[in-house]
Amino acid sequence: MYQMKKRVVIVLIIVILVLIGFLYQTFAMSNTITEENDTYVVNVSDNTSIELPARTSKKVYYKLTNTNNGVVRYGIGYSGTNVEAKVYEDSVDSETGLIDYMENKFIKLKLINNGTTSSTITLSTVLGYENGGDLIVPSGVTLVKNKVKLVNFMKLTETNPSATSNFLNTTLTRNTIETLTITDDNLVSTDALGSFDVSRNNDGTVMLWYTKGTSDNLYNVYIGAEGGKVYITNCYYLFSYLTSVTKMDFTYFDTSESTWMESMFKYCTSVKKLDLSMFDTSKVTYMSSMFDHCDALTSLNVSGFNTSKVTNMTSMFNNCQSLESIDLSNFDTSNVTSMRTMFLRNYTLKELNLSKFNTSKVTSMNAMFQYCTSLTKLNISSFDTSNVTNMSAIFSYDSKLTLIDMRNMTFTSKLTDANSMFYSASNNATIYVKSNIEKAWLNAKYSSLTNVIVISNY
């Protein structure tokens, strides 16, 4: 008498989701385990084969449902040429284990084609008895074992970078980079001229590659991480001296672990637009010279910045010579101690509203607005200068200023240097001050500025 067989019927349902910007596909795969008798037979439908273009990956969701009356051991297998399947660290369920009657398993996989041509990957469910030891893997099938790390750190910048230094210690010099894109994968594109491992641990989880730019000596640079986002702990001088860069895309750049952004974009002299609204700056303490000498910058979005821990903003926007306006309304400056030369040589800046700035800990404001030669109105009505020791040249050469609202500023004994505060400033600016004490101090200190009108007790 023949033994009845227990047959496993696998039903695959493929759901394609197009993700904005990258048209990346997602699949949901449902497998139902049914009971017949003593043995396990895997019947795989044709829909388990998935086409992968060259050097691409796809995220898939694999759902197992057990309608057998007992416990089954399961695993996930794959086969194909130049392909690999990995399980994400944040997968709801493991890629292997036990599945009980009517239990569901939801497994998140990454399917990868490492080859230079299109390839097909075939997924299959590998089963075994609950207490039967290892899974019996068919010939030509590989079990999914490797993990996709979600947090992948890139290496820090090279020591003492300059325009001619090698970017991140690759063979690319900084001044030859025309565009920079942080992308959502570490798979090097087929048109890449070269590639480098720029992961912190040198494990290939973060890769840099480059393609030809608009001329022979310019390149488009891409940096991508296995888990979808590139992480960094220290942005000190990271993208500085990229003097030829005209476009940067940081959509998949994660700065949540970064504590230092000093000189991050210093001397990016050709870039015109920077959207950094997605930056997580909640741990950052230093932003000094962050955009120093971004000479061509006309649009800067820092509206999402959390600056509550920042202590130093010295020269943060120094020499942003083409910037006409900047929204800093969300800046929390309660811990900042230095704003020296913060807006120095912002020649085209026309209006600046810093009315929400908390400057109670600031000690240095010298040359803060020097050479803002297009500035007509300056609202610094919230400024608490009770701890400021240096205010020299703060408004010097601001020749078009017609209004300065400094209604809460004081000039205490701590202020040891207030020289040239209004040197070559506007002759007819209206200045709002707190009281007659501040009015008298200004008139005594700068009596030669006869056309400056100090209005108090308003």
Count of domains observed in the chain: 3
- Asked if residue 1 has pLDDT above 70, the reply is no
Confidence of residue 454 (pLDDT cuts 50, 70, 90): low
Taking residues 371-381, report their average pLDDT: 95
User: What per-residue confidence (pLDDT) applies to 32?
Assistant: 59
Instruction: Please check whether residues 31 and 176 belong to one and the same domain.
Output: no
Instruction: Please check whether residues 89 and 177 belong to one and the same domain.
Output: no
Instruction: Please check whether residues 173 and 316 belong to one and the same domain.
Output: yes
Domain-located, residue 298: yes
- Asked if residue 12 has pLDDT above 70, the reply is no
Going by the DSSP 8-state scheme, the letter that residue 314 receives in this structure is: T
- Asked if residue 394 has pLDDT above 50, the reply is yes
Whether the Cβ atoms of residue 393 and residue 418 lie closer than 8 Å to each other? no
- Asked if residue 4 has pLDDT above 70, the reply is no
Q: Which domain holds residue 200?
A: 149-329
Instruction: Please check whether residues 117 and 223 belong to one and the same domain.
Output: no
Please count the other Cβ atoms lying within 10 Å of the Cβ belonging to residue 56.
19
Instruction: Please check whether residues 272 and 368 belong to one and the same domain.
Output: no
- For the chain, the distance separating the N- and C-terminal CA atoms, rounded to the nearest angstrom, is 106
Domain-located, residue 1: no
Domain-located, residue 434: yes
C-alpha to C-alpha distance for 199 and 455, rounded to whole angstroms: 59
Instruction: Please check whether residues 321 and 302 belong to one and the same domain.
Output: yes
End position of a domain, from candidates 126, 148, 170: 148
Percent of the chain at pLDDT > 70 equals: 86
User: What per-residue confidence (pLDDT) applies to 3?
Assistant: 36
Higher pLDDT pick, 122 / 129:
122
Domain-located, residue 243: yes
Instruction: Please check whether residues 193 and 302 belong to one and the same domain.
Output: yes
408-451 residue pLDDT tens: 999 999 999 999 999 998 767 889 998 889 888 988 888 766 65
User: What per-residue confidence (pLDDT) applies to 45?
Assistant: 43
324-350 residue pLDDT tens: 999 999 999 999 999 999 999 999 999
User: What per-residue confidence (pLDDT) applies to 449?
Assistant: 63
End position of a domain, from candidates 118, 148, 178: 148
Confidence of residue 133 (pLDDT cuts 50, 70, 90): low
Residue 47 backbone class (left: φ over 0; alpha: ψ -120 to 50; beta: rest): alpha
Going by the DSSP 8-state scheme, the letter that residue 4 receives in this structure is: P
Instruction: Please check whether residues 378 and 458 belong to one and the same domain.
Output: yes
Instruction: Please check whether residues 454 and 413 belong to one and the same domain.
Output: yes
C-alpha to C-alpha distance for 37 and 66, rounded to whole angstroms: 15
End position of a domain, from candidates 275, 309, 329: 329
Taking residues 225-233, report their average pLDDT: 97
Domain-located, residue 95: yes
Instruction: Please check whether residues 118 and 217 belong to one and the same domain.
Output: no
User: What per-residue confidence (pLDDT) applies to 275?
Assistant: 96
Instruction: Please check whether residues 121 and 243 belong to one and the same domain.
Output: no
- Asked if residue 215 has pLDDT above 80, the reply is yes
DSSP assignment string, 383-451: ---TT--B-TTTTTT-TT--EEE-TT----TT--B-TTTTTT--SS-EEE-SSHHHHHHHHHH-TT-TT
User: What per-residue confidence (pLDDT) applies to 34?
Assistant: 54
User: What per-residue confidence (pLDDT) applies to 9?
Assistant: 31
Instruction: Please check whether residues 137 and 30 belong to one and the same domain.
Output: yes
C-alpha to C-alpha distance for 111 and 14, rounded to whole angstroms: 14
Confidence of residue 128 (pLDDT cuts 50, 70, 90): confident
173-204 residue pLDDT tens: 999 999 999 999 999 999 999 999 999 999 99
